[in-house]
């Protein structure tokens, strides 16, 4: 029945006139061809796919580094690696996973690809900025690896506390490279945050009022706001670190009134919300998959949205629980304990709502749903151990031990990677037009889940037996050997699980079953278009009548007509009720974002070696930006004629 009801907004080409329009739109929205064209692309599906592939490649690299660590720790007093190399490897692992995989994948990649589709528009807002942000992210990651291969990988831990990373104790350029890696990823995340917020607030399909926005999109909007408020903290701290190191400022020099704790406050002001920046998209994925596979609207839509927003707020009140051992006054410790426990309330509300959805629905057990069940099993353990570290006295014992390592791997892998693999299984048909193999998918799920628990569960026990984190080796008589060896074996299963997933992707891409537009009979707008989506996303821009657009569509659900189809025109809507309030033109593909990214990269890397590079690099950057925004006469006149004044 739903197929008939949504017939209008599901994008079928039946008449000759529609075929003509489709050809026309294809011509206007097509990505440029050829080698140079590759660098000009601005469509959100293109950039989103690149984000996914790049971030996943970094995930694999970070995973291999983890394997190296597990090899080193498999034996006590091992001399396989020098402490120098081990420190670089664990720092690289942490920095890659946090800055080059988790945030770019959970937020940037998924938001860029899916948010415009889910809100029913033709491209993301500020598409050129989007391309720019991708290249910066890519170049930042490549820079890190290039320096790692010449023995300059950061070696101060992923939060690089001063003074260890400061000028006096961090000789060489390793810590500078870490600080600039942060700058790269910051700029790209901030750019995407702005695009996502504008896309969701101004480009939603008519009818998608605030209470009908899909939960996935809500999650990404909350994350975008968190990015905007959290990232400045780390921008400031890493820049102060860089200035201390290269320009001899004294921000963190206690001898002249500088403060080593200032760095920690600034860093964790970002660092704690960062965890939720990674985890909220995971919960948003879970809400989506749970609803689709339980065959009902998600239970407690309003509660879920409010939980997302509440998490976003409370996340900024917890940063001190990373610093309980630094000797802050008891009163503030109590405050941050209370805040840390408070965040369990919205998290609990979300979990109960999903449970209610599953229990009152008709769950279908396909791979995406299995990954979500794995998420429950694993993530809740991480949430529970979160209460241990929220309690000051217990935290004083488990802080900086393997217990904490176990805790955040359960939270981050459970809360982000499990939903992410679920998301891959769920949206792979949409992105590629091919179905993944269920059979191989189940194998990789079970291998990954079992391997994960074997690798990380014993870490809780290790931590309670007193093993601190970030040690490159440990004494043979400490009683930690067997548990470490079990973990190292678990890594092999994890490795096999991820390898099988890659094999599944590879074979499915080559000879997988072709995917219909809506293989899961889901309700989101992204399923209303072809798999993979066309260059213009929707033949007819849709309108919306409920939080699951396809399920809730009226029999005569209208579509939008009357847009000019000779340029990249889209409709803009009002923030709260999504009533149409104007038209806008999105820009054409352009090489300038790429050039600007190259110049910015040179500027950032140069500033590692000479502070003056910032001033010199600003000149070509200004030229690149002028090229980027240079108006053409034809375009200006058209805009004037059609009453479109904004220039995006």
Residues 519-558 that bind other proteins (CB under 8 A): 520-521, 523, 548, 551
Q: What is the 3-state secondary structure (H, E, C) of 146-205?
A: HHHHCCCCCCCCCCCCCCCCCCCCCCCCHHHHHHHHHHHHHHHHHHHHHHHHHHHHHCCC
Helix axes 215-246, 174-202, angle to 10 degrees: 150
Q: How far is the CB of 395 from other proteins (least distance, A)?
A: 8
C-alpha to C-alpha distance for 502 and 306, rounded to whole angstroms: 36
Site for other proteins in 415-454 (CB under 8 A): none
Q: How far is the CB of 623 from other proteins (least distance, A)?
A: 21
Within 10 angstroms of residue 267's Cβ, the number of other Cβ atoms is 26
Site string for other proteins, 35-64 (x = CB under 8 A): ------------------------------
Smaller CB separation from other proteins, 29 or 474: 474
Q: Please tell me whether residue 126 adopts helix, strand or coil conformation.
A: coil
Q: What is the 3-state secondary structure (H, E, C) of 220-250?
A: HHHHHHHHHHHHHHHHHHHHHHHHHHHCCCC
Q: Which of 75, 313, 376, 503 binds other proteins (CB under 8 A)?
A: 376
Smaller CB separation from other proteins, 24 or 151: 151
The window from 132-140, 193-201, 388-396, 567-575 that contacts other proteins (CB under 8 A) reads: 388-396
Smaller CB separation from other proteins, 122 or 460: 460
Polymer length in residues for the chain: 648
* Binding of residue 648 to other proteins (CB under 8 A): no
How many chain residues interact with other proteins (CB under 8 A)? 112
Q: How far is the CB of 400 from other proteins (least distance, A)?
A: 4
* Binding of residue 511 to other proteins (CB under 8 A): no
Beta strands in 318-378 (DSSP E): none
* Binding of residue 345 to other proteins (CB under 8 A): yes
The window from 106-114, 159-167, 410-418, 586-594 that contacts other proteins (CB under 8 A) reads: 159-167
Q: How far is the CB of 131 from other proteins (least distance, A)?
A: 21
Smaller CB separation from other proteins, 117 or 553: 553
Site for other proteins in 1-30 (CB under 8 A): 1-2
Q: How far is the CB of 201 from other proteins (least distance, A)?
A: 28
Smaller CB separation from other proteins, 375 or 495: 375
At 451, list the tokens: 């391997």
* Binding of residue 335 to other proteins (CB under 8 A): no
* Binding of residue 358 to other proteins (CB under 8 A): yes
- What is the DSSP annotation of 404-429? HHHHHHHHHIIIIIHHHHHHHHHHHH
The window from 40-48, 214-222, 291-299, 411-419 that contacts other proteins (CB under 8 A) reads: 291-299
Burial of 146 (0-12, 13-18, 19+ CB in 10 A): middle
At 607, list the tokens: 């500033």
Q: How far is the CB of 582 from other proteins (least distance, A)?
A: 34
Half-sphere exposure at residue 89, Cβ-oriented, CA atoms within 13 angstroms? 20
Q: Please tell me whether residue 626 adopts helix, strand or coil conformation.
A: helix
Q: How far is the CB of 167 from other proteins (least distance, A)?
A: 3
Q: Which of 57, 380, 496, 591 binds other proteins (CB under 8 A)?
A: 380
C-alpha to C-alpha distance for 264 and 202, rounded to whole angstroms: 37
Q: Which residues contact 411 (CB under 8 A, 6 or more apart)?
A: 275, 279, 379, 382, 383, 386
Q: Which of 63, 67, 157, 620 binds other proteins (CB under 8 A)?
A: 157
* Binding of residue 481 to other proteins (CB under 8 A): no
Within 10 angstroms of residue 331's Cβ, the number of other Cβ atoms is 7
Site for other proteins in 165-184 (CB under 8 A): 166-169, 171-174
Site for other proteins in 217-276 (CB under 8 A): 244-246, 248, 250, 253-256, 258-261
> What is the dihedral sign for C-alpha 511, 513, 517, 522?
negative
Q: How far is the CB of 534 from other proteins (least distance, A)?
A: 25
Smaller CB separation from other proteins, 606 or 627: 606
Compute and round to an integer the Cα radius of gyration of the chain.
Answer: 25
Q: Which of 381, 431, 447, 586 binds other proteins (CB under 8 A)?
A: 381
* Binding of residue 360 to other proteins (CB under 8 A): yes
C-alpha to C-alpha distance for 27 and 11, rounded to whole angstroms: 18
User: Which of 434, 420, 450, 444 has its CA nearest to residue 500?
Assistant: 444
- Asked whether the beta carbons of 140 and 188 are under 8 A apart, the reply is yes
Q: How far is the CB of 466 from other proteins (least distance, A)?
A: 4
C-alpha to C-alpha distance for 323 and 264, rounded to whole angstroms: 8
Smaller CB separation from other proteins, 303 or 496: 303
Within 10 angstroms of residue 3's Cβ, the number of other Cβ atoms is 10
Smaller CB separation from other proteins, 174 or 202: 174
* Binding of residue 164 to other proteins (CB under 8 A): yes
Site for other proteins in 74-103 (CB under 8 A): 82-84, 87
Smaller CB separation from other proteins, 144 or 505: 144
């Amino acid at each position: 029945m739903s197929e008939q009801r949504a017939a209008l907004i599901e994008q079928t080409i039946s008449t000759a006139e529609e075929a003509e329009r489709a050809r026309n739109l294809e011509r206007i929205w097509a990505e440029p061809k050829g080698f140079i064209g590759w660098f000009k692309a601005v469509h959100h599906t293109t950039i989103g796919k690149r984000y996914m592939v790049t971030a996943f490649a970094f995930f694999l690299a970070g995973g291999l580094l983890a394997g190296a660590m597990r090899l080193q720790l498999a034996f006590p007093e091992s001399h396989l690696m020098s402490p120098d190399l081990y420190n670089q490897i664990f720092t690289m692992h942490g920095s890659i996973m946090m800055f080059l995989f988790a945030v770019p994948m959970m937020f940037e990649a998924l938001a860029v690809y899916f948010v415009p589709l889910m809100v029913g528009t033709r491209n993301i807002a500020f598409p050129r900025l989007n391309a720019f942000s991708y290249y910066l992210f890519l170049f930042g990651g490549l820079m890190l690896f290039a320096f790692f291969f010449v023995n300059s990988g950061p070696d101060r831990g992923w939060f690089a506390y001063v003074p260890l990373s400061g000028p006096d104790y961090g000789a060489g350029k390793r810590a500078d490279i870490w600080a600039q890696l942060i700058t790269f990823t910051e700029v790209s995340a901030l750019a995407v945050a702005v695009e996502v917020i504008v896309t969701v607030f101004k480009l939603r399909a008519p009818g998608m009022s605030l209470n009908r926005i899909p939960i996935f999109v809500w999650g990404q909007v909350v994350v975008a706001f968190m990015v905007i408020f959290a990232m400045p903290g780390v921008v400031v701290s890493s820049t102060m670190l860089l200035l201390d190191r290269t320009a001899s400022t004294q921000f963190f020099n206690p001898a002249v009134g500088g403060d080593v704790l200032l760095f920690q406050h600034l860093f964790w002001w970002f660092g704690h919300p960062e965890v939720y920046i990674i985890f909220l998209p995971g919960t948003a994925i879970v809400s989506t998959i749970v609803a689709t596979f339980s065959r009902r609207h998600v239970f407690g839509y309003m509660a879920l949205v409010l939980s997302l927003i509440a998490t976003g707020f409370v996340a900024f009140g917890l940063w001190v629980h990373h610093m309980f051992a630094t000797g802050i006054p008891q009163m503030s410790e109590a405050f941050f304990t209370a805040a840390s426990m408070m965040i369990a309330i919205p998290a609990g509300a979300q979990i109960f709502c999903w449970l209610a959805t599953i229990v009152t629905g008709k769950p279908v057990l396909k791979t995406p749903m299995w990954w979500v069940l794995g998420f429950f099993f694993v993530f809740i353990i991480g949430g529970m151990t979160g209460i241990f570290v929220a309690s000051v006295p217990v935290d004083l014992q488990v802080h900086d031990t393997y217990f904490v390592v176990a805790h955040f791997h359960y939270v981050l892998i459970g809360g982000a990677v499990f939903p992410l693999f679920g998301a891959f299984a769920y949206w792979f048909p949409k992105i590629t037009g091919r179905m993944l193999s269920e059979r191989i998918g189940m194998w990789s799920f079970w291998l990954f889940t079992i391997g994960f628990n074997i690798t990380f569960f014993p870490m809780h026990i290790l931590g309670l037996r007193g093993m601190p984190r970030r040690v490159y080796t440990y004494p043979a008589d400490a009683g930690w050997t067997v548990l470490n060896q079990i973990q190292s074996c678990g890594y092999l299963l994890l490795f096999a699980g991820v390898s099988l997933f890659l094999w599944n992707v590879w074979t499915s891409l080559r000879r997988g079953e072709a995917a219909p537009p809506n293989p899961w009979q889901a309700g989101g707008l992204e399923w209303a278009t072809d798999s993979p989506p066309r260059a213009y996303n929707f033949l007819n821009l849709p309108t919306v009548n409920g939080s699951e657009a396809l399920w809730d569509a009226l029999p005569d659900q209208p579509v939008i007509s009357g847009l000019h189809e000779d340029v990249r025109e889209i409709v803009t809507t009002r923030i709260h009720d999504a009533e149409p309030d104007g038209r806008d033109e999105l820009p054409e593909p352009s090489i300038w974002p790429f050039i600007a990214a190259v110049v910015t990269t040179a500027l950032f890397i140069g500033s590692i070696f000479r502070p003056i590079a910032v001033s010199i690099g600003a000149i070509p950057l200004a030229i690149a930006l002028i090229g980027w925004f240079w108006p053409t006469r034809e375009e200006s006149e058209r805009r004037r004629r059609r009453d479109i004044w904004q220039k995006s």
